[in-house]
Chain A
């Protein structure tokens, strides 16, 4: 006789496994999968799915494979050229600008992800409270994300580019001297990072707002009864409960940052002296500015590997998050 355990411990275990996505659809964790018959229905479904799968492979797979091939050849956009093995990577690794771009890419991603997350989360917490004209402020704060980057980047460039631009003139009037925001490497890096935070915090705010909406108020009430302060509430309840959403937003923002070409290209063009070059800008400049297709595509491959690595690490963190 086959019996099914129905005790409370089994229910909890079942829920736990369900949360992990195990045993969905009624199949037990250890129950052997029944042998499948290749029915005409499955063939039909497979054939129906095939065009989509084919298109996805064509659109994503073909360029990726072609890029790998290009990175191993010394060619141009028209001809693949002779096979040079890893020489293009060797060229990149021996280019000081490449390493500078790696450094700034890391800075840009870290500041972009965590800077925008801190601002976004802070504003989400603030807007969670009942306040006058909350919807208006929410809409207003979304504007940097909604307005096209080409518009905002050009506007920021206009604000800071030359000594006679509004911000340097205001700074000078306030006694800061002549600040050349895009002519000084340090200031240019600062401006680009600030711009990225300004551009991205609305997305983080939205993600945090959605996650915070799912946190039950009674949890806070219970904690307050137990004597928890505001910091403890945030540290022990809010952060753990929005952790999964936070990790997902970090992954997405990291992907946005590492692939962000237009913000930097429109604001600084990667200068001055390559100070604000990220890998994606360098890759573009190498291919279309210097016509070095192989080394430029090799940078793209390196970026791809870094993106996959970081995403895998963050996804593993998500899996480890326990939802209680």
Chain B
């Protein structure tokens, strides 16, 4: 019989138990450290024959499901020496996903997604500049394949933060059957847009619908920015300082308020998410909307024969034309097993969009093409709405930094941020003056110290 307090020498001693417990506790940490070092690849050379590891490609380009399936197949099959590729489709808030990954010393070697993320992460020192890639594109002819002026916005004082592959342009769409039923002409300027909205209201249809819910919406803030730019305005001045109170902006917001107060804008727009816009247009409860180039597909109508048609850019009261546009780009990150490998991957990946079997030819990407060879494809030319956007909207479109010619990291905060959402929500509520709404927007952006100077 064992006496109380006696040491049980036949089993595990206290010292041994504590040692084993400590070892067990430390095991996951050691294993994690081992797995981290192996997954990141590193530039170590196995057998001295070049870098090994995986180029992690995180893509936020959500086209059709087919795009993502094909992208994964292509990426997984990619090889460069001992380097391999892996594909990850990003969903949700891409800034948040990548930022969190970088904070945990994880993250992509190459990524795409939001238009301003490259600038944001470049400011944090996480971007490998694409100057070498751009230089190669200049020599192999790819650079000249692009529409003019699309590389310049991506150039900062330190280099190119990424390379462009498409644009996401916001254009005004109308339901041609409803407009015909209302006896309204297709709008060409602000007065005729208002007249069309009035005519639609007379047949029991809202003239305009947008989405300004505090989450899962973007069209509301795009409407605000687009009408400012349409009037020759924008939230920033030429030097990149916040200037929401610019006269043209005030005029644009007054016009939006006129639409709201006239009852031409669907009052539910304040709480709509983007998909509500599609459902309202599809149901014929609204006649016009600012939306992305794929809205016919979102609404289940044919872009050639369907009712949803893109109009020409409206002329503002001073004759200006314009809208908001996002320059889609791919960027490289400093966390990579091989810088040269990332560059090779990016050059290779960029070519997957063009050509007879490319993504544009297959019609599986949502990006508006910006390369001449892609635009010339019969598959692209067969879509009259897309052609009209390329020919008429893309040339007059600007980034949210307008009137500043440069894009900067702070736009990631402004773009569909809380300040813009609150501003458009208050406008759609119809109970503010244009100056009051813009003053709040101005102070919110200024409070965070956002400008092109950082």
Residues of A at under 8 Å CB distance from B?
44, 47-48, 51, 76-79, 91, 94-97, 161-164, 178, 180-185, 188, 265, 268-274, 285-286, 288-292, 295
Q: Is B350 an interface position by the 8 A CB rule?
A: no
Task: Please indicate the chain A residues that have their CB under 8 angstroms from the CB of B428 in the complex.
Answer: 183
Task: Knowing A91-B447, A289-B417, A290-B417, say if A77 contacts B99 (CB, 8 Å).
Answer: yes
- When chains A and B are docked, how far (Å) is the Cα of A271 from the Cα of B428? 13
- Is A273 a contact of B429 with CB atoms below 8 Å? yes
- Is A44 a contact of B429 with CB atoms below 8 Å? no
Task: Knowing A162-B268, A183-B271, A272-B271, say if A291 contacts B447 (CB, 8 Å).
Answer: no
- Is B447 a contact of A76 with CB atoms below 8 Å? no
- Is A285 a contact of B126 with CB atoms below 8 Å? no
Interface pick from B80-88, B189-197, B212-220, B367-375? B212-220
Q: Is B425 an interface position by the 8 A CB rule?
A: yes
- When chains A and B are docked, how far (Å) is the Cα of A271 from the Cα of B93? 18
- When chains A and B are docked, how far (Å) is the Cα of A291 from the Cα of B213? 19
- When chains A and B are docked, how far (Å) is the Cα of A193 from the Cα of B24? 48
Q: List 6 A-B contacts (CB under 8 A).
A: A51-B25, A78-B103, A180-B268, A183-B428, A274-B422, A289-B417
Among the listed B276, B285, B425, which residue makes an inter-chain contact with A272, where contact means beta carbons less than 8 Å apart?
B425
- When chains A and B are docked, how far (Å) is the Cα of A18 from the Cα of B4? 31
How far in angstroms is the closest Cβ of chain B from A294?
A: 10
**What 1/0 flags go to B400-432 for Cβ under 8 Å of A?**
000000000000110001110110011011000
List the B residue with the shortest CB-CB distance to A295: B448
Task: Please indicate the chain A residues that have their CB under 8 angstroms from the CB of B268 in the complex.
Answer: 161-163, 180, 183
- When chains A and B are docked, how far (Å) is the Cα of A265 from the Cα of B267? 21
List the B residue with the shortest CB-CB distance to A181: B271
- When chains A and B are docked, how far (Å) is the Cα of A178 from the Cα of B206? 14
Residues of B at under 8 Å CB distance from A?
14, 18, 21, 25, 93, 95-96, 99-100, 102-103, 120, 124-126, 212-216, 266-272, 276, 285, 412-413, 417-419, 421-422, 425-426, 428-429, 440, 444, 447-448
Task: Knowing A182-B271, A285-B418, A291-B95, say if A272 contacts B102 (CB, 8 Å).
Answer: no
- When chains A and B are docked, how far (Å) is the Cα of A270 from the Cα of B216? 12
Additional A-B contacts beyond A79-B125, A271-B213, A274-B418 (10; CB < 8 A): A163-B268, A183-B428, A265-B215, A268-B213, A268-B214, A268-B271, A269-B213, A269-B216, A271-B422, A292-B413
- Is A269 a contact of B214 with CB atoms below 8 Å? yes
Task: Please indicate the chain B residues that have their CB under 8 angstroms from the CB of A271 in the complex.
Answer: 212-214, 270-271, 421-422, 425
How far in angstroms is the closest Cβ of chain A from B272?
A: 7
Task: Please indicate the chain B residues that have their CB under 8 angstroms from the CB of A162 in the complex.
Answer: 268, 271-272, 276
How far in angstroms is the closest Cβ of chain B from A25?
A: 20
- Is B271 a contact of A291 with CB atoms below 8 Å? no
Choose among B14, B25, B419 the residue with the greatest number of A CB atoms under 10 Å from its CB: B14
How far in angstroms is the closest Cβ of chain B from A90?
A: 10
- Is A78 a contact of B124 with CB atoms below 8 Å? yes
Task: Knowing A270-B214, A292-B413, say if A161 contacts B271 (CB, 8 Å).
Answer: yes
- Is B270 a contact of A180 with CB atoms below 8 Å? yes
List the A residue with the shortest CB-CB distance to B99: A77
- Is A289 a contact of B126 with CB atoms below 8 Å? no
Task: Knowing A44-B14, A47-B18, say if A77 contacts B271 (CB, 8 Å).
Answer: no
- Is B103 a contact of A77 with CB atoms below 8 Å? yes
- Is B95 a contact of A273 with CB atoms below 8 Å? no
Task: Please indicate the chain B residues that have their CB under 8 angstroms from the CB of A161 in the complex.
Answer: 213, 268, 271-272, 276
- Is B124 a contact of A79 with CB atoms below 8 Å? yes
- Is B418 a contact of A183 with CB atoms below 8 Å? no
List the B residue with the shortest CB-CB distance to A188: B271
Task: Knowing A183-B271, A272-B425, say if A78 contacts B418 (CB, 8 Å).
Answer: no
- Is A273 a contact of B422 with CB atoms below 8 Å? yes
Task: Please indicate the chain B residues that have their CB under 8 angstroms from the CB of A78 in the complex.
Answer: 99, 102-103, 124, 126
Task: Please indicate the chain A residues that have their CB under 8 angstroms from the CB of B285 in the complex.
Answer: 164
- Is B418 a contact of A51 with CB atoms below 8 Å? no
- Is A97 a contact of B422 with CB atoms below 8 Å? yes
Task: Please indicate the chain B residues that have their CB under 8 angstroms from the CB of A183 in the complex.
Answer: 267-271, 428-429
How far in angstroms is the closest Cβ of chain B from A49?
A: 12
Task: Please indicate the chain A residues that have their CB under 8 angstroms from the CB of B421 in the complex.
Answer: 271
How far in angstroms is the closest Cβ of chain A from B252?
A: 19
Task: Please indicate the chain A residues that have their CB under 8 angstroms from the CB of B271 in the complex.
Answer: 161-162, 180-183, 188, 268, 271-272
Task: Knowing A77-B103, A78-B102, say if A272 contacts B429 (CB, 8 Å).
Answer: yes
- When chains A and B are docked, how far (Å) is the Cα of A180 from the Cα of B100? 36
How far in angstroms is the closest Cβ of chain B from A179?
A: 11
- Is B21 a contact of A51 with CB atoms below 8 Å? yes
List the B residue with the shortest CB-CB distance to A168: B268
- When chains A and B are docked, how far (Å) is the Cα of A85 from the Cα of B14? 48
How far in angstroms is the closest Cβ of chain B from A229?
A: 48
Closest 8 CB pairs of A and B: A269-B214, A271-B214, A269-B215, A182-B271, A183-B270, A183-B271, A272-B425, A77-B103
Task: Knowing A163-B268, A273-B429, say if A288 contacts B96 (CB, 8 Å).
Answer: yes
- Is B425 a contact of A273 with CB atoms below 8 Å? yes
- When chains A and B are docked, how far (Å) is the Cα of A289 from the Cα of B93? 9
Choose among B103, B125, B126, B421 the residue with the greatest number of A CB atoms under 10 Å from its CB: B421
List the A residue with the shortest CB-CB distance to B105: A78
List the B residue with the shortest CB-CB distance to A55: B25
Among the listed A44, A77, A94, A182, which residue makes an inter-chain contact with B447, where contact means beta carbons less than 8 Å apart?
A94
How far in angstroms is the closest Cβ of chain A from B212?
A: 8
- Is B272 a contact of A272 with CB atoms below 8 Å? no
- When chains A and B are docked, how far (Å) is the Cα of A267 from the Cα of B279? 19
- When chains A and B are docked, how far (Å) is the Cα of A182 from the Cα of B213? 9
- When chains A and B are docked, how far (Å) is the Cα of A286 from the Cα of B421? 13
- Is A291 a contact of B120 with CB atoms below 8 Å? yes
Task: Knowing A180-B268, A272-B214, A290-B418, say if A77 contacts B100 (CB, 8 Å).
Answer: yes
- Is A178 a contact of B214 with CB atoms below 8 Å? no
